[in-house]
Amino acid sequence: MTAISHSNRGPARPSAHPRRVFLLGATGTIGRATELALVRRGHEVVCFVRPRAGVGGALAPGDSVRLLAGSTVRFGDITRPESLVRDGFQGEHFDALVSCMASRTGAPKDAWTIDHAAHVHALEAARLAGVSQVVLLSALCVQKPLLAFQHAKLAFEKALIDSGLTYSIVRPTAFFKSLSGQVERVKRGKPFLLFGDGTLTACKPISDNDLADYLADCLDEESRQNRVLPIGGPGEAITPRQQGEHLFALFGRTPKFRHVPVGLMDAIVGVLGTLGSVMPPLADKAELARIGRYYATESMLVIDPQTGRYDARATPSTGTETLFDFYARLANGGIAPERGDHAVF
Ligand SMILES: NC(=O)c1ccc[n+]([C@@H]2O[C@H](COP(=O)([O-])OP(=O)(O)OC[C@H]3O[C@@H](n4cnc5c(N)ncnc54)[C@H](OP(=O)(O)O)[C@@H]3O)[C@@H](O)[C@H]2O)c1
């Protein structure tokens, strides 16, 4: 098996102004790539992580230190402001805060704790440490907020904009990991699952590395500062049906689709929502179903304010890596990425 790593990245242009960067969320998918992108530009990076990190707490402290070998790794509890100050910033000066941190579940309580409150505390501690610039990884879907985690993210975006610090709020489209859940199914000869006819939605997938480069370059590129930045990957927008067709061609199989009616998702959301109001443990499951329904019906493209429609042409592109190159690497034995709690298929 070949791990799909960041090692095939060419040398980065060093930053003209290397900075001391405090990085949150460094153990996540985009955080790992962003740590590398920052280090490759010559920044001095301090990562603040929890003692058990990664999907399901799979990373012990030594694993995180090895994973983030180019940086200093500090351990603490981001949900406790005193830990952030004592164990994280440690009374030192920093120039920039970069955050790729986000709730792993998207459940309302976790989202408000991490995507909002922990960020508010981090912003305050960062300001006290001398930070004058913040780069925040957000999500394009907050432009049409229907879910708890989207409202939590928007609330922090507003706090950051109001802070007076220089900010770059980066709102990407879909990540490769979120579009790779059916590679194994197709490989094993199973049908590709589609909501509706598979053309209800589209996105411009962005690779971890291309997004990480974009985030890291926000520190130097003035055109990306004090702005909210929707961003997709290279090439045309792709529908779920096109993803399926491409995978069947890649594995030399006859296309076989199974259509899941959106009404079925509505029924699941409705039942779990009703049960969740009387049985709290089911409330999080209801929110997960709502998240699944959202991505089944909403495109990850910029909404044109004139028409109210998703618009691929209005969605900027960056980078060089395409989803179909990534599928080819997976088909050639690359290890599929960890998809975490948001995985629908
Ligand atoms: N998936 C997509 O297609 C997509 C598209 C656009 C935007 N986005 C957005 O991109 C962002 C990052 O995505 P990702 O896939 O890189 O996320 P991820 O892999 O789930 O990583 C989340 C990071 O946040 C940290 N974190 C979560 N809860 C924490 C806690 N209680 N204490 C300390 N750290 C905590 C995690 O640390 P641990 O390792 O300790 O858990 C991890 O480092 C999210 O805001 C997401 O909404 C995603």
Q: Which of 262, 192, 204 is nearest to 233 (CA)?
A: 204
What pLDDT, on a 0 to 100 scale, did the predictor assign at position 335? 78
Q: Residue whose CA is closest, atom 31 of ligand 1?
A: 114
pLDDT at 72: 98
CB atoms under 10 Å from CB of 157, counted, come to: 20
Would you give the DSSP letter of residue 298? Answer: S
Residues 6+ apart with CB under 8 A from 285: 272, 276
- pLDDT in 10s for each residue of the chain, 345 residues: 334 444 456 667 899 999 999 999 999 999 999 999 999 999 999 999 999 999 999 999 999 999 999 999 999 999 999 999 999 999 999 999 999 999 999 999 999 999 999 999 999 999 999 999 999 999 999 999 999 999 999 999 999 999 999 999 999 999 999 999 999 999 999 999 999 999 999 999 999 999 999 999 999 999 999 999 999 999 999 999 999 999 999 999 999 999 998 888 889 989 998 998 888 888 988 999 999 999 999 999 999 999 999 999 999 999 999 999 999 999 988 877 777 655 544
Q: Whose CA is nearest to atom 28 of ligand 1?
A: 103
> Rounded to an integer, what distance in angstroms lies between the CA atom of residue 283 and that of residue 308?
31
Q: Ligand 1 pocket: which of 6, 27, 173 to mutate (most atoms <8 Å of CB)?
A: 27
Task: Evaluate whether 202 touches 312 at the Cβ level (below 8 Å).
Answer: yes
Q: What pLDDT does residue 334 have?
A: 82
Supply the residue whose CA is at minimum distance from atom 21 of ligand 1. Answer: 28
**How high is the pLDDT of residue 185?**
94
Handedness of CA 4, 7, 10, 15 (dihedral sign): positive
Query: Which residues have CB under 6 Å of ligand 1?
Result: 25, 27-31, 49-50, 53-54, 78-79, 100-104, 114, 137, 139-140, 172, 174-175, 178, 340, 342
Helices (H), 200-339: 208-217, 240-250, 262-278, 281-297, 323-331
What is the Cα–Cα distance from 302 to 300, expressed in whole angstroms?
A: 7
Residue 38 and residue 286: Cα distance in Å, rounded? 38
pLDDT for the residue 2: 38
Contact criterion met (CB below 8 Å) for 256 and 191: yes
Query: Given the structure tokens 């259509």, which residue do they identify?
Result: 259
Residue 102 CA to ligand 1 center (angstroms) comes to 4
String of DSSP letters for 299-333 = -BSEEPTTT-SEESTTS-B--S--HHHHHHHHHTT
CA of 59 to the centre of ligand 1 (A): 15
Alpha carbon 334 to chain centroid distance?
21
CA–CA distance, 14 with 17 (Å, rounded to integer): 9
